[in-house]
A and B are shown apart, each in its own frame.
Chain A
Amino acid sequence: MREVYRPIGGKLLTRHFYFMGVLVLIGAFFMARRFIFGIGDVANLSDGFPWGIWITYDVVTGTAIACGGYAMALLVYIFNRGQFHPMIRAALLTSVFGYTLAGLSIVIDVGRYWQLYNVFLPQYANLNSVMLEVALCVTLYTLVLWIELSPAILEAMKDNRHLRQVRHALFFFIGLGILLPTMHQSSLGSLLLIAGYKVHPLWQTNIIPLLFLLTAITMGYAMVVFESLYAAVNLDRPIETELLSKVSAIIPWLLILYLVLRISDLVWTGAIAALLKPGPEPLLFVLETALFLYAIVNLLHKERRVRPRVLFWTALATILGGSLYRFDAFLIAYDPGPGWQYFPGVGEILITLAIIAVEIMAYLFFVKKMPILLAARPARLGA
């Protein structure tokens, strides 16, 4: 456990960074329009499709992609794999911004945002509501993530007094930080149970919480691999092939478990018959499964998964497969009845792009200015 985190330094205001800045400004314009003229001014949401890409991408998919911190904490603290500890801060960083900006998306998406605090008031609480569980859990977890990341910020600020205090309590927050995503990542799937026939039978199932949880954890590991390779290519970092290969080795087993559960459930309930019906849904199901099978086949081979190229494409396939699963369940294979259609509006898409741009900008700011990534060579502590 000799690990040294260092800010990687370097110029922050690169051309890349400015480009992201422009995206944010464009998004900010549409956000202003949304608050002045109403949701309908920028979004193609309707009474049939009350949830669009803001919920499906920014919240449901975005927080699943942000499960890196959760997935790595499971590995390091519960399965006692200390060797992966050096990767935790980078994973936490993507989680922090994934969740924080999911929170921002919710403020943009909900119609009566000025009353959003009602979810925290006991007199309004509806304990039967899956949404209440998700709302409380996601808010609490976002706070927990910031606490988990705070040592990096406090180190950068050289605030040793608070750093010590945080360190003493950190074990509790790490434990809580494993429980909360287990609860709300499964509940994000449970949200759809009540929608009944509106969700296509290939996706509507009583085990949807378990399927959402499993894919979220898997996407978390894939995102850790993807983020590390991104840093290696774009930030000129050494490729941590050995560790990445070990993280990737977990992915196929989780995906196999997921596919076995999902397909046997479809067979058990008879919903598998929907595969033979015409329409795009069976193809989407096949595409999801194919993306996962691609990752499984390539990652099961030890000699293949040491190749960075294989690690990159399998991580991407896993993230895409998990994202498509969420998009299918919430939007593409969602059918409220005849006459309703949805395709995101221009302003709606640009707001989502702005949110992704903020995430990337914040990531770049943090890795350049704060001790997040592992120093290239672990320094001796004895000095």
Chain B
Amino acid sequence: MNIDRRAFFKIAAAGAATALCPAPAAARPPKELPPEAVGILYDATLCIGCKACEVACKAENDMPMAHDTPLERAHGVAGTWDADNDLNSRTMTKIKVYTSGTAAVKDREEDGFSFIKRSCMHCVDPNCISACPVSALTKDPFTGVVRYNPDACIGCRYCQLACPFNIPKFEYDKAFPKIVKCQLCPDRLAAGGIPACCDACPTGASLFGRLPDLLTEAHRRLTFKPGEQQQYPVRRVDGDEQRKAEVTGYYPKVYGETESGGTQYLMMAGVPFDKLGLPPVGDTSRAQLSETIQHTLYQGMVAPTLLLGGLVFAVYRRTHAEQEDASAGTEPTAEAREGRRDA
């Protein structure tokens, strides 16, 4: 048995060495922003919580609204409220609210409140795309929009597990379900328009634009002092529409600039982002780590092919020796021995 153990330890140690030392040189580099990358800058300090974006999103994407029967019965009207309280398989964008204490002042952490608009972050290096076995999720090579192809999707829901922002939703209530997520209104973009949510936003809280422009705008806003009057673009960052508003002060960070390798949906707010329910993701994409480890083990299928050769050779030697040994047949029945003679 000692020989077994030693041999086994050798193999196990080799495996350990491979798994423990993903050579930094082989590490997959982070993904770059596509050349024509577009996105959305959401500014919670401008958001008034009117949910016009939600309504426009549902109208654009033919999504049914949800009913809250007790609420509707209590008020004697139906179809007035969209009652979902989070993203789900019929809600691709959602305004949520953070409150603290008396919730007296907007965009204040203590005794204040803040809105936050959640939807797909359109990551620069998306985990969902790395995870999907059948390339049902793809990133547009120019705009960087993360799109979904139901004809490829097998419904394994690995994208849901992989997404750090819990964005892809699945139609658990349907016999023939799909994954549902924001695709940045592809028809509107193709026609030179802007996403429905930005189009509907009256205050410029949801602002569409090319990503470099949005980042410049975000950093311009970070220099604003509370109490100042400032000009804010509305609907699209490169458009003519502008609006003057009083600055309420920013938490000094643009969420999405670096998160999970960067995202094309950027957020600004007056309160820290963990308070707004955004997850503790690091600055590198987990896809990068996962692919680095997996490709270190499987690069060009060289290691598995060599291993297969070795294994088949070892088995062949062993079974061949067995066959040459006249008494080694594992088939003792008379029929089989007859069969062998026939051959």
A interface residues (Cβ-Cβ under 8 A, vs B):
1-5, 35-41, 43, 45-48, 50-51, 75-82, 109-113, 115-116, 118-119, 121, 124-126, 128-133, 135, 151, 155, 158, 160-161, 163-164, 170-172, 174-176, 178-179, 182-183, 186-187, 190-191, 193-198, 206-207, 209-210, 213-214, 246, 249-250, 253-254, 257, 261, 265, 336-339, 379, 381
17 A-B pairs, CB-CB below 8 angstroms? A1-B322, A1-B325, A38-B175, A50-B158, A82-B318, A110-B154, A125-B133, A129-B131, A164-B343, A171-B315, A172-B316, A193-B286, A194-B289, A214-B12, A250-B5, A250-B8, A336-B166
Contact A111–B19 (Cβ < 8 Å): no
Asked whether A257 lies within 8 Å of B12 as measured between CB atoms, the reply is yes
Question: How far, in Å, is B116 (CB) from chain A's closest CB?
Answer: 14
Contacts of A178 in B (CB 8 A): 311, 315
Query: Cβ of B106 < 8 Å from any Cβ of A?
Result: no
Specify which chain B residues have a CB less than 8 angstroms from the CB of A198 in the assembled complex. 161, 164
Tell me the B201-257 residues at the A interface (CB within 8 Å): none
4 closest residue pairs by CB, A with B: A111-B155, A175-B312, A160-B339, A40-B172
Contact segment of B72-80, B183-191, B293-301:
B293-301
CA distance A198 to B162 in the complex (A): 9
- Whether B170 pairs with A207 at a CB distance below 8 angstroms is no
Q: How far is the CB of A49 from chain B (nearest CB, A)?
A: 9
Give the complex CA separation of A336 and B162 in angstroms. 10
**Smallest Cβ distance from B160 to chain A, in angstroms?**
4
- Give B179 Cβ to nearest chain A Cβ, in Å: 8
> Is B23 in the interface zone, CB < 8 Å from A?
no
- Verify B175–A36 contact, CB threshold 8 A: yes
Q: Of the 9-residue stretches B41-49, B56-64, B274-282, which lies at the interface with chain A?
A: B274-282
Q: Which of A80, A109, A158 contacts B335 (CB 8 A)?
A: A158
Say if the beta carbon of B108 comes within 8 Å of chain A.
no
Query: B residues 118-132 with Cβ under 8 Å of A?
Result: 127, 129-132
Q: Name the residue of chain B whose CB is nearest to the CB of A78.
A: B314
Q: Which residues of B contact A182 (CB under 8 A)?
A: 307
Residues of A contacting B135 in the complex (Cβ-Cβ under 8 angstroms):
124-126
In the bound complex, CA of A171 to CA of B308 (Å): 12
Determine the interface band of chain B, counting residues with CB < 8 A from chain A. 35 or more
Best-surrounded residue of B89, B152, B176 (most CB of chain A within 10 A)? B152
Cβ contact within 8 Å between A38 and B174: yes
Q: Once bound together, how far apart are the Cα atoms of A103 and B134, in whole Å?
A: 17
Task: State the Cβ distance, B158 to closest chain A Cβ, in Å.
Answer: 5
For A179, give its contact among B12, B134, B307, B333 (CB under 8 Å): B307
B336 near A160 with CB under 8 A, answer yes
Interface: B83 (CB within 8 A) = no
- Please give, as numbers and ranges, the residues of chain A lying within 8 Å of B169 by CB-CB distance: 47
Q: Min CB distance, A71 to chain B, in Å? A: 11
B161 touches A132 (CB 8 A): no
Which B residues are closer than 8 A to A by beta carbons? Answer: 1, 3-5, 7-9, 12, 15-16, 19-20, 22, 86-89, 127, 129-136, 150-158, 160-162, 164, 166, 168-178, 277, 279-282, 286-287, 289-291, 293-295, 297-298, 304, 307-308, 311-316, 318-320, 322, 325, 327-333, 335-336, 338-340, 343
> Which of A43, A110, A183 is B155 in contact with, Cβ under 8 Å?
A110
Chain A residues with CB below 8 A from B175, complex form: 35-38
- Can you add 14 more A-B contacts, CB < 8 Å, to A124-B134, A130-B294? A1-B322, A1-B327, A39-B172, A115-B153, A126-B134, A128-B129, A128-B287, A164-B343, A178-B311, A179-B307, A186-B297, A194-B287, A206-B20, A254-B8
Shortest distance in angstroms between A320's beta carbon and chain B's nearest beta carbon? 23
The residues of A that contact B336 with a CB separation of less than 8 Å are 155, 160, 163
A79 close to B153 (CB less than 8 A): no
Contacts of A337 in B (CB 8 A): 166, 277, 279
A116 and B154 form a contact (CB under 8 A)? yes
Q: What is the chain A residue whose CB lies nearest that of B152? A: A124
A46 touching B339 in the complex, CB below 8 Å, given contacts A112-B155, A128-B291, A206-B19 = no
Residues of B within 8 A of A210 (CB): 15-16, 19-20
Closest to B13 in A: A257
Chain A contacts of B86 at CB under 8 A?
339
Chain A residue nearest to B334 (CB atoms) is A383
Task: Give the nearest-CB partner of B157 in chain A.
Answer: A50
Smallest Cβ-Cβ distance to A257: which chain B residue:
B12
Q: Which of B9, B152, B279, B289 interacts with A118 by CB under 8 Å?
A: B152
Residues on A with C-beta less than 8 A from B157 are 45, 50-51, 110-111
A47 to B154, CA, bound (A): 16
Q: Are B131 and A3 in contact (CB under 8 A)?
A: no
Return the contact of A129 from the options B132, B277, B281 (Cβ within 8 A). Answer: B132
A346 nearest CB across to chain B (Å): 16
Least Cβ distance of A86 to chain B in Å?
A: 9
Q: Is the CB of B311 within 8 A of A131?
A: no
Q: Residue A119 contacts which of B154, B315, B329 (CB distance < 8 angstroms)?
A: B154
With A126-B134, A131-B131, A183-B304 as contacts: A175 and B311 at CB distance below 8 Å: yes
- B322 / chain A contacts, CB cutoff of 8 Å: 1, 82
Residues on B with C-beta less than 8 A from A191 are 158, 161
**Nearest A residue (CB) for B155:** A111
Min Cβ gap A199→B in Å is 9
Contact B318 A77 (CB under 8 A): yes
Interchain CB contact under 8 A, A161 and B4: no
Instruction: Give every chain B residue within 8 A of A183 (Cβ-Cβ).
Output: 298, 304
* Contacting pair A130 B131 (CB below 8 A): yes
Contact status of A119 and B134, CB under 8 A, knowing A164-B343, A209-B293: yes
Chain B nearest CB: distance from A265 CB in Å?
8
Q: Are A47 and B329 in contact (CB under 8 A)?
A: no
Across the interface, which residues of A come within 8 angstroms of B328, CB to CB?
1
Q: Evaluate contact between B170 and A47: CB separation under 8 angstroms.
A: yes
Q: How far is the CB of A268 from chain B (nearest CB, A)?
A: 9
State the CA gap A382–B225 with chains docked (Å). Answer: 99
Question: With A155-B336, A171-B312, A210-B15 given, is the CB distance from A112 to B177 under 8 Å?
Answer: yes
Which residues of A are found within 8 Å of B166, using beta-carbon distances? 47-48, 336-337
CB of A119 within 8 A of CB of B327, answer: no
Interchain CB contact under 8 A, A119 and B133 = yes
